[in-house]
Structure 1
């Protein structure tokens, strides 16, 4: 999975804001990072309707924020296999270029929702507020992991080129 991300990552370029998406059956959690890719922040949640309407909302947000690429959480099973949720995320990504032509990479999102749920409980967030925020927080968790990895890939690449000089 990490290898799949690393192969897709160069299409994002060196700078530019990225979206992080947590694709669910009923909602899409959306997060964005700054153009220097240091910090991911939640944007909101899109209530799913039909693919075209969902993708058009994302396209409008992407245009507003000058998005360079999209990281989609891939909900793998704990054994690394792909179930129906992962297939749904892949199908969404496959159809996305019809409406929003940006590079896409998948990020292993195992336990992202559980991690965010724990964090929200730790700060004493009500159950209703957690339900409202969990998808965008999971998208933020996904995107932060991805941009942290992108930075390590970039610093590793520049470190190895400096070593050769």
Structure 2
């Protein structure tokens, strides 16, 4: 049976979510967050709704990395599923290019960029781990 993995593109005001189905990641949605606790609760709902067995949180280089790692650890304590981190360097730029190629209206494209970014991070994770995920 294929493991369902939830990808998270961390942000202070919104987070992009993606899901895996086998070896393919696809964008799910963008959640708006008012606090760390609110973000954890929203992700917990999605994990339950989608029966996700693992969560992969993108980690950037620089100032946000410590905050993203702390969030990942807090998330794992609450969720009861394995939470891993994965390098998300350049995923935002790649997501912008992907959203342009998707030929969505500009407003929708901007709304979905975080979900696209999450998808790219999760796909990179899946590609590196193959079917062992």
The 2-side partners of 1:127 and 1:88 are apart by: 30
Residue in structure 1 matching 2:49, options 64, 86, 90:
64
The 1-side partners of 2:28 and 2:102 are apart by: 20
User: Which stretch shifts more, 86-95 or 121-130?
Assistant: 121-130
Q: Tell me if structure 2 keeps the 8 A contact 1:52–1:99.
A: no
Structure 1 position 27, deviation (Å): 0.7
The 2-side partners of 1:114 and 1:46 are apart by: 20
The 2-side partners of 1:122 and 1:63 are apart by: 32
Structure 1 position 53, deviation (Å): 1.8
Structure 1 position 129, deviation (Å): 2.3
What's the counterpart of residue 11 of structure 1?
none
Structure 1 position 28, deviation (Å): 0.8
Is residue 2:10 matched to residue 1:23? Answer: yes
The 1-side partners of 2:94 and 2:55 are apart by: 21
Spell out, residue by residue over 1:126-162, the C-alpha distance to the aligned partner (whole angstroms, 9 max, x if none).
442222010000000110110111117x4xxxxxxxx
Structure number with higher strand proportion: 2
Structure 1 portions without partners, runs of 5+: 1-13, 77-82, 155-165
TM-score scaled by structure 1?
0.73
Residue in structure 2 matching 1:51, options 16, 36, 45:
36
Residue in structure 2 matching 1:108, options 87, 90, 108:
87
Q: Looking at CA atoms only, which structure, 1 or 2, has the larger radius of gyration?
A: 1
What RMSD, in angstroms, separates the aligned Cα atoms of the two structures? Answer: 1.7
User: What is the SS of the residue equivalent to 1:99?
Assistant: helix
TM-score scaled by structure 2?
0.89
The 2-side partners of 1:124 and 1:17 are apart by: 28
Matched residues, number: 132
Structure 1 position 33, deviation (Å): 0.5
The equivalences for 1:1-165 within 5 A come to 15-34=2-21, 37-76=22-61, 83-151=62-130, 154=132
